[in-house]
Amino acid sequence: MPNSSSISEFLLLALADTRQLQLLHFWLLLGIYLAALLGNGLIIIGIVCDHCLHTPMHFFLLNLALLNLGCISTTLPKATANALWDTRDISYAGCAAQAFFFVFFSAEYFLLTVMSYDRYVAICKPLHYGTVLGSRACGTMAAAAWGIGFLNAQLHTANTFSLPLCQGNAVDQFFCEIPQILKLSCSKSYLREIGLIVINALVFFGCFVFILFSYVQIFRVVLRMPSEQGRHKAFSTCLPHLAVVSLFLSTVVFAHLKPFSISSPSLDLVVAVLYSVVPPTLNPITYSMRNKEIKHALSKVLQYALFQLQ
């Protein structure tokens, strides 16, 4: 049987069998990727260029857009190229890099936890908002989210790709996903990685509890506001974040808690698309729909771009 030292490349899951469907998948994946690049790119440019958006909330939103860009850029370009050129292979080093960066950029839930704290301070302790969430504090919290993501990715990737692989080199996914790589490992050799996954799940649960507690306090304060306009404004700043958290939680929880009895390559593929492609594509729309400041900044960016083209 082959082991990890003899494997020089992996074979990713083929999205289609016929050439026509492969080309259809190519155009579909390319369209989704360009939409994600455009949406997140516009948010980044709008926040950077508009001084009115240089606030803690938009600073964290900028970091979220960067994570979204990194996450979708890790998976879709390779899948798009494979669909175009009718290939499945990815090098061993390329697979390890893809797995590392996917876990690294999946640190979104750490950043969403920080963003819930930002909303908690802004609504529950508005008089202390400027002091509690100063530029240094915001930078430290964002750096901590990125740093935890990097450490998490390093541990998972190093541990997974140090395991002996005895079940061939065919990965049942359109990108190198760590759970799919573990299926190729020898019997009982993946217990260390299972331990890391359990620790990760506990940290994830802690983040969920923190977000839930923050929003319980937020809703208590908002519902006590005497002004209907004040309640509406407070809710409008929280609803996009709440929508993004709900989308992230629903896809990730379903991906990890779905019954093994209904697991299949097709279902695993759909679930992987839900948590690796859908959030980075929809998050910019979610945040820009109800945020007047973002809409105003994006309109100025688009007007400037159209003016330059004339």
Residues 196-220: what's their mean pLDDT? 86
Q: What is the pLDDT of residue 195?
A: 75
**Cα–Cα distance between 85 and 73 in angstroms, integer?**
18
Q: Which residue has the higher pLDDT, 305 or 177?
A: 177
Residues 139-164: what's their mean pLDDT? 90
Q: What is the pLDDT of residue 109?
A: 85
What are the pLDDT digits (tens) for 136-151?
999 999 999 999 999 9
Q: Print the domain residue range for 296.
A: 4-309
Q: If pLDDT is split at 50, 70 and 90, which confidence band does 309 have? A: low
Residue with tokens 């695993």: 268
DSSP secondary structure, the chain, as one string: ---GGG--EEEPPPS-SSHHHHHHHHHHHHHHHHHHHHHHHHHHHHHHH-GGG-SHHHHHHHHHHHHHHHHHHHHHHHHHHHHHHT--EEEHHHHHHHHHHHHHHTTHHHHHHHHHHHHHHHHH-GGGHHHHT-HHHHHHHHHHHHHHHHHHHHHHHHHHTTS-B-S-SB-SSSS--HHHHHTTBPTTTTHHHHHHHHHHHHHHHHHHHHHHHHHHHHHHHHHT-S-HHHHHHHHHHHHHHHHHHHHHHHHHHHHHHS-GGG--HHHHHHHHHHHHTHHHHHHHHHHHHS-HHHHHHHHHHHHHHHHHH-
Number of domains into which the chain is organized: 1
pLDDT more than 90, % of the chain: 28
Q: What is the pLDDT of residue 254?
A: 65
Under 8 Å CB-to-CB from 68, ≥6 apart: which residues? 36, 40, 105, 108, 279, 280, 283, 284
What are the pLDDT digits (tens) for 1-48?
445 556 788 988 888 778 888 899 899 999 999 999 998 998 898 888
* Res 234 pLDDT > 80: no
Kindly report the CATH number assigned to the domain that includes residue 212.
1.20.1070.10
Structure tokens at 108: 């979104």
- What type of residue is 195? G
* Res 78 pLDDT > 70: yes
The candidate with the shortest Cα–Cα distance to 72, out of 117, 120, 110, 40, is 40
Q: What is the pLDDT of residue 261?
A: 44
> Which of the given ranges, 194-198, 239-243, 291-295, 298-302, has the highest pLDDT on average?
239-243
What are the pLDDT digits (tens) for 37-54?
998 998 898 888 888 888
Q: Using an 8 Å Cβ cutoff, are 139 and 234 in contact?
A: no
The model's pTM is 0.87
Q: Using an 8 Å Cβ cutoff, are 121 and 132 in contact?
A: yes
